[in-house]
Amino acid sequence: MRHFDPSLEDRRTLAAEAKKNLLAKFKKNADPNSPEAIEKRREREAIAAARAERQAQREAARREHEVELARQAAIAAEAAREAERIAAEKAAAEAALKAEQESAADAELKEQQKAARDARYAARKAAKKKRR
């Protein structure tokens, strides 16, 4: 039954051994010149260098992406300006055509009005001449 019910002395012994093992492990890892510590340091440095390289690659890719976006934005802006210029030219041409058509229609209307007025005048003169 002793295995299932450790006495106080057994528990103290086990605790002391665990403490001693932890202390030995800590002392082994605390020596900066031990081969294990040097190896771990090299591994950490290699990981850090790889991380820095990946970060630099991501940064370069981000800059390239920004340059590409700026180039595409410039192309889009140029296309928008060209479309706006073409639309303005088209609107100006349509306005000029409309003004010319209105001017021609107005001149034709005035010509018709003058012809009608002249016809009325001639009819009045003819009627007056007939009465005499």
66-75 residue pLDDT tens? 999 999 999 9
pLDDT confidence bin for 5, thresholds 50/70/90:
confident
Q: Are 31 and 37 in contact, with CB atoms under 8 Å apart?
A: yes
**Residue 34: Cβ within 10 Å count:** 13
Where helices occur in 1-132 by DSSP H, the ranges are 8-30, 35-131
Query: Does the model's pTM come out above 0.85?
Result: no
pLDDT confidence bin for 25, thresholds 50/70/90:
confident
Average pLDDT value for residue range 54-67: 98
What are the tens digits of pLDDT across the range 120-131?
999 999 888 888
Q: Name the residue with higher pLDDT: 87 or 23.
A: 87
30 pLDDT above the threshold of 80: no
Mean pLDDT estimate for the chain? 91
Q: Are 36 and 42 in contact, with CB atoms under 8 Å apart?
A: no
Average pLDDT value for residue range 4-29: 85
> What is the predicted pLDDT for the residue at 50?
98
Residue 33 parent element (H or E): none
- CB neighbour list of residue 36: distance below 8 Å, 6 or more residues apart: 28, 29
Backbone phi, psi, residue 3, to 5°: -65, -35
> What is the predicted pLDDT for the residue at 29?
66
Average pLDDT value for residue range 89-110: 95
